[in-house]
């Protein structure tokens, strides 16, 4: 009876909405049975399972007959059974793989990859990400070089540092932490990183190649690359699937859509001007959300069995937390986990993959530059 208990105790926390009810009513016909191949049919009266097929890739749906007034109506609930895509664990595996390759490279050709990071201004979150990048480099054996510049520094200063790193043979990857202060032209700065060292993959030439059939970018942006890597490592098929990307930012949404398309998904992009976004997301087999809006994607936006990759990392007030806030994604996790077949948590989903992919891109760059395979 564990199934019934799970369904009965499904809770919708701070992101519940009127449209996200725990159960829908539908009329039970043989047609409905075929629509739910992974379904366990449960009789409320006998309280026994009548029929069930279980596939761990899809959430188990519980269909139970409603008691009194409408005998032909049944209640459908979805058991909380989505696979939790553990980005923290996958990122750790990738870091270990990178470390093994780096020590092999060092042993064979005496080269140690180097990553240069430029941080402008005093945003706390950016400083944390840069610190974590340095720690991650240390842990896998990448040399890291860091330049910190004040909020009011000039674009020229940033460009000078980039130019020096472009010419430095001990540096194989260069990145400028984003966002930049508003007085700076982000395009000018990103254009200055030489394409062979553009481990963030933000150079317009890299993005252009990503968009073109038959062309290969030197590097793919880390967060979208991490999203696809998670799908691969969880054996989630992409080819021929309907994918919806929510958000069209240069660093996540747009490249994520291009990557999905390269993987032969049929891709739609939902953005701030999209009318009735839920009508589009509801058709998706795969949703990648990168909008930065806490709990925007409700359970009712999700097709049963869909896979959800939540890129949002949004702080929300939480007096119970020692920090006074906690992080939530763009997707209402408590609702979506009962409907999706697989979902990334926040934190611990896509976030850790960003830095893992950066290490992997830096290794790739060093291998290319030194012709080491």
Ligand X SMILES: Nc1nc2c(c(=O)[nH]1)N[C@@H](CN(C=O)c1ccc(C(=O)N[C@@H](CCC(=O)O)C(=O)O)cc1)CN2
DSSP 297: B
> Do residues 90 and 356 touch, judged by C-beta distance below 8 A?
yes
Residue nearest to ligand X (CB): 351
Q: Give the count of beta carbons closer than 10 Å to the beta carbon of residue 5.
A: 10
The helix or strand, by DSSP H or E, that contains position 171, with its residue range, turns out to be none
Q: Which is nearer to ligand X, 207 or 346 (CB)?
A: 346
Q: Which is nearer to ligand X, 78 or 223 (CB)?
A: 223
Q: Which is nearer to ligand X, 32 or 249 (CB)?
A: 249
Q: Which is nearer to ligand X, 280 or 346 (CB)?
A: 346
Minimum CB separation from ligand X for residue 146, in Å?
13
In DSSP terms, which residues pair with 317 in a beta bridge? 325
Chain centroid, CA 126 distance in Å? 19
Q: Which is nearer to ligand X, 76 or 120 (CB)?
A: 120
In DSSP terms, which residues pair with 176 in a beta bridge? 118
Q: Which is nearer to ligand X, 63 or 251 (CB)?
A: 251
Minimum CB separation from ligand X for residue 127, in Å?
11
Instruction: Provide the pairing of β-strand 314-317 with 325-328.
Output: antiparallel
Minimum CB separation from ligand X for residue 18, in Å?
29
319 three-class SS: coil
> Do residues 269 and 248 touch, judged by C-beta distance below 8 A?
yes
| Closest by CA position to 359, among listed 166, 200, 253 | 200
User: Quick one: 191 exposed, middle or buried, by C-beta within 10 A (0-12, 13-18, 19+)?
Assistant: middle
Whether the link from the prior residue into 331 is cis, omega within 30° of 0, is: no
Torsion, Cα 201 203 208 213, to 10 degrees, reads -30
Positions touching ligand X (CB under 6 A) are 129, 175-178, 200, 222-223, 251, 313, 327, 346-348, 351-352, 354-355
Minimum CB separation from ligand X for residue 41, in Å?
38
Minimum CB separation from ligand X for residue 225, in Å?
10
DSSP 343: E
> Do residues 115 and 199 touch, judged by C-beta distance below 8 A?
yes
| Closest by CA position to 225, among listed 22, 122, 362 | 362
Give CA–CA dist 141/372, Å, rounded: 17
Q: Which is nearer to ligand X, 39 or 361 (CB)?
A: 361
Minimum CB separation from ligand X for residue 347, in Å?
3
Enumerate the active-site residues.
133, 177, 200
43 three-class SS: coil
Q: Using H for helix, E for strand and C for coil, what is the string for 92-123?
A: HHHHHHHHHHHHHHHHHHCCCCEEEEEEECCC
Q: Which is nearer to ligand X, 91 or 270 (CB)?
A: 91
Minimum CB separation from ligand X for residue 346, in Å?
6
Minimum CB separation from ligand X for residue 71, in Å?
48
> Do residues 47 and 56 touch, judged by C-beta distance below 8 A?
no
């Amino acid at each position: 009876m564990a199934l019934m208990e799970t369904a009965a105790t499904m809770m919708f926390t701070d992101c519940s909405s009127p449209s996200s009810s725990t159960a829908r009513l539908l009329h039970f016909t043989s047609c409905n049975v075929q629509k739910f191949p992974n379904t366990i049919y449960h009789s409320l009266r006998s309280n026994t399972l009548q029929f069930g097929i279980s596939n761990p890739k899809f959430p188990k749906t519980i269909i139970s007959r409603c008691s009194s007034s409408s005998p032909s109506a049944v209640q459908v609930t979805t058991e909380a059974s989505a696979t939790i895509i553990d980005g923290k664990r996958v990122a750790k595996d990738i870091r270990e793989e990178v470390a093994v390759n780096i020590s092999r490279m060092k042993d064979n050709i005496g080269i140690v990859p180097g990553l240069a990071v430029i941080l402008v201004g005093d945003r706390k979150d950016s400083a944390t990400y840069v610190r974590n990048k340095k720690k991650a480099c240390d842990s896998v054996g990448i040399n890291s070089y860091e330049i910190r510049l004040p909020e009011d520094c000039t674009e020229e200063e940033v460009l000078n540092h980039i130019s020096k790193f472009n010419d430095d043979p001990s540096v194989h990857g260069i990145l400028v932490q984003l966002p930049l202060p508003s007085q700076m032209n982000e395009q000018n700065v990103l254009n200055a990183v030489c394409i062979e060292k553009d481990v963030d993959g933000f150079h317009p030439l890299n993005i252009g190649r990503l968009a073109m059939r038959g062309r290969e970018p030197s590097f793919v942006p880390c967060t979208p690359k991490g999203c696809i890597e998670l799908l691969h490592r969880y054996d989630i098929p992409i080819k021929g699937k309907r994918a919806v990307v929510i958000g069209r930012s240069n660093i996540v949404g747009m490249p994520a859509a291009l990557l999905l398309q390269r993987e032969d998904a049929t891709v739609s992009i939902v953005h701030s001007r999209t009318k009735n976004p839920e009508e589009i997301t509801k058709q998706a087999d795969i949703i990648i959300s990168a909008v930065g809006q806490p709990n925007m994607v409700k359970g009712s936006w999700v097709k049963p069995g869909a896979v959800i990759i939540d890129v949002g990392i949004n702080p929300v007030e939480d007096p119970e937390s020692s920090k006074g806030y906690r992080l939530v994604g763009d997707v209402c996790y408590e609702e979506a986990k009962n409907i999706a077949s697989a979902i990334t948590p926040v934190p611990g989903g896509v976030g850790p993959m960003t830095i893992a992919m950066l290490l992997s891109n830096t290794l790739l760059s060093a291998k290319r530059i030194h012709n080491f395979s």
